[in-house]
Amino acid sequence: METTIYYFTGTGNSLKIAKDLCENITNCRLIRICKRNMNINEVTSERIGFVFPVYYRGLPKMVANFIKNLDVNLGKYFFAVANFGSYAALTFEQIDILLRSKGKSLSANFSVEMPGNMWFMYYPHPKEDFINRMNNQSRITINIARMINNNYENNIPVIKNRYKEEKMYEDFNPNNIDENFWVSEKCIGCGICSNVCPAENIEIIEAKPSWEHRCEQCLACIHLCPQTAIEFKKDSINKERYKNIFVKTKDLF
Ligand SMILES: Cc1cc2nc3c(=O)[nH]c(=O)nc-3n(C[C@H](O)[C@H](O)[C@H](O)COP(=O)(O)O)c2cc1C
């Protein structure tokens, strides 16, 4: 059985998980969910996976739109692997609803705890947890791959505090959030922010980034700037940046 994994990533956690899965699933290929690939709308594999970070308790908007557009007629087994700072919240149910509207359903869901990358707005857990989560991720992912190879099925977990979680996701409107990004004099106009943006939302104008209000809020630009020149309001000043240590910046281009 051929497997295709569609993944969305900002700072590399989802890419690392998707790569580990693919290496341990027989006959597997990886496709990034990003602006350039939004017109891939036909599934050719029988086994289909989605790997993504949780945003505001739900799916990144680009992931939801990608699945909405996908023709899944040939798919027989669908799995979702969420990664997050706290939990998968609404994401599995959201994917299941999208698949059901096409006559399919989510066969299996899996969760991987990762370092939260929104820490300049809130700091979700102690730093030692970052290290533990990094160290545990491969082992957990290889175990998930084994279950996928066996077409393991499970039920979607019950969502606690549904009202609160749905309210939070309703407030997630990322497109114009980029009005809060600004660039300091440390910027050398290298263009890495533009290259890593999955939404192709950053143009380099007169050697400085300019955000075009199609932001997905993945935070790749701010975290991956090698000069730490990009800031979010005043919240990020003098705060450490985050990138998955097992992923190279150019793997995110
Ligand atoms: C805009 C945004 C919203 C987030 N919201 C949540 C959330 O609601 N719950 C959670 O557990 N983690 C949340 N996170 C943390 C990410 O899901 C987590 O760090 C993930 O591993 C990042 O994956 P990536 O490196 O592939 O981008 C959020 C991160 C961002 C950037």
* Predicted local confidence at residue 123, as pLDDT: 57
The pLDDT, as a whole number, for residue 42 is: 83
Instruction: Tell me, yes or no, whether 206 and 161 share the same domain.
Output: no
Q: What burial letters (b/e) apply to 143-180, b meaning 16+ CB within 10 Å?
A: ebbeebeeeeeeebeebeeeeebeebbeeeebeebbee
Centroid of ligand 1 to alpha carbon of 10 (angstroms): 9
Q: How far is CA 29 from CA 4, 26, 81, 87, 99, in A?
A: 5, 9, 15, 26, 21
pLDDT at position 39 over 70: yes
Are 31 and 132 contained in the same domain? yes
Q: How confident is the model at residue 87 (pLDDT cuts 50, 70, 90)?
A: very high
Q: Is the domain of 206 the same as that of 242?
A: yes
Q: Is the pLDDT at 84 greater than 80, yes or no?
A: yes
Per-residue pLDDT tens over the stretch 111-121: 999 999 987 66
What is the spatial distance between Cα 250 and Cα 227, in angstroms, rounded to a whole number?
A: 16
pLDDT tens digit string along 169-220?
A: 999 999 999 999 999 999 999 999 999 999 999 999 999 999 999 999 999 9
Cα–ligand 1 centroid distance for 56 (angstroms) = 8
Domain finish residue from 143, 165, 187 = 165
Nearest CA to ligand 1 atom 22: 53
Lowest mean pLDDT among 42-46, 56-60, 127-131: 127-131
Helix 13-24 × helix 127-149 angle, to 10°: 30
Strands 28-32 and 3-7: parallel
219 in ligand 1 pocket by Cβ < 6 Å?
Answer: yes
Q: Which atom of ligand 1 is nearest to the CA of 57?
A: 8
Task: List pLDDT tens digits, range 211-232.
Answer: 999 999 999 999 999 999 999 9
Q: 15 and 102: one domain?
A: yes
